[in-house]
Amino acid sequence: MNSALGKVVTAVMIDENENDYFVQPDRNGQTYRLPKNESPQVLHIGGQVRGFVYENEDHQLQMTCKHIPTVQVDHYDYGTVVSVRRDLGVFVDIGLPNKDIAVSLDDLPSLKHLWPQPGDRLLLSLRVDDKDRIWGKLADDQIYQAISVASNNRLLNHDTYATVYRLKMSGTFVLTDGYHLGYIHPSEREQEPRLGQRVKARVIGISSHGGLNLSLKPRAYQAISEDAQMLLAMLEHNQNHRLPYTDKTDPTVIREVFGISKGQFKRAIGHLLKAGLVKEEGGQLILLEKKNENAGNN
C-alpha cells in the first residue's frame, strides 16, 4: 500500500519535462507528477519540495504545493458535497483542482433520501484502501466530542445554525457553527434533516451532558397565520396595544376594518389566543407581553 497518499510529504526531484517535475518521496519509491506552475521554486535534480500527494481524476499520481487541502489522512475538516452517485456514494470537494473525494455508500444512511445533497457539508478525513484508492472517512462521535465546546444557559432561546452529523432513531445529532453539540428530538422537527444538511434551530434547553437541546419548529408567533400576523401588527402599533374588536364583533364591521371575513377573523384570534399573545377582555382584544422564548430572537 502507498503510505504517502493523502498526506503532505517531502520529495526529491528526479526528472522533468516541459510542463512537469517528477518527484519521489522515497528513493526507488512511487513517482509523482508536480506541475511546474504548482512548484514554489525552480527545481533541479536532487532538489527537495514539500506538498500533498494523491491520485488525480485521470488516475495519475500527483503532488500539489498550491492546493494543499486541510482534509488529509488523520486530519479532519469540512468538505462540500458536489455530486451524488446512488451506486457508489457522494463526492466531496476538499480543495483539490482535479479530484473530488468519494464517501462510500456503506458510510451513508440506509435511506437514500437522507443522503447529503450538493452544497451540504461533511466533516471528514482521508483513508487509503489496500488498492491505493483514497476515500473520505466521516468523523465519528469521538472526533465531535474532541472538537466541541461547552454550552451555557446564555444560549437558551437563541437561534443557531448547525450541521447534521448523525441520524438515529432517537433523533438528529448536530454540531453548531459555534462548535456546540446539539440534539433534535423527532417531536421538534417537521421532517428528518439529511446528513450534512445545515439547519437553523432554536435552543430550547441544555442537556445533562452539556449539549444543546434544539428545535426546528417555529416559535408560536412565527407559526401563526397571515391574518393573525396582521392583527398582531395592528395591536403592536396601537398606542394602548388594544383593539375594540372581538369574536363577537359584527361581521360587516370586521369586513370594513380588516378586509377579511368573520370566520377568518375568529380563526386569527384563536391562533393568537392559543399562542398566548393576546386576551379578550371587556369587549377588547388586548396584546399580552411576549413569552420569554421571543426574547432571545436576535
pLDDT in tens, 271-282: 888 878 889 888
User: Kind and range of the H or E element at 160?
Assistant: strand 159-168
pLDDT tops 60 at residue 155? yes
- Considering only 51-65, 109-123, 126-140, 234-248, which range has the smallest mean pLDDT? 234-248
Residue 196 φ/ψ region, left for φ over 0, alpha for ψ in the -120 to 50 degree band, beta for the rest = left
pLDDT value for 110: 95
Domain 148-215 fold: OB fold (Dihydrolipoamide Acetyltransferase, E2P) (2.40.50)
Stated pTM of the model: 0.74
Cα-based torsion angle of the residue sequence 10, 13, 14, 20 in order, rounded to the nearest 10 degrees? 120
For the stretch 39-81, pLDDT in tens is 999 999 999 999 999 999 999 999 999 999 999 999 999 999 9
Of the options 3.40.50.2300, 3.30.43.10, 2.40.50.330, 3.40.50.300, the CATH number for the domain spanning 8-64: 2.40.50.330
What percentage of the chain carries pLDDT values higher than 70? Answer: 94
| Spans of all domains in the chain | 8-64, 77-139, 148-215, 221-290
Q: 298: pLDDT confidence band, cut at 50, 70 and 90?
A: very low
DSSP class per residue in 90-151: EEEE-S-TT--EEEEGGGS-SSGGGS--TT-EEEEEEEE-TT--EEEEE--HHHHHHH----
Which CATH number applies to 77-139? 2.40.50.140
pLDDT value for 223: 56
The answer to whether 8-64 and 148-215 have equal CATH topology is yes
Contact 122, 175 (CB under 8 A): no
Place of cell 483513508: 127
What percentage of the chain carries pLDDT values higher than 90? Answer: 69
For the stretch 81-112, pLDDT in tens is 999 999 999 999 999 999 999 999 999 999 99
pLDDT value for 152: 85
How far apart CA 42 and CA 144 sit, in angstroms, is: 42
Contact 20, 35 (CB under 8 A): yes
Which CATH number applies to 221-290? 1.10.10.10
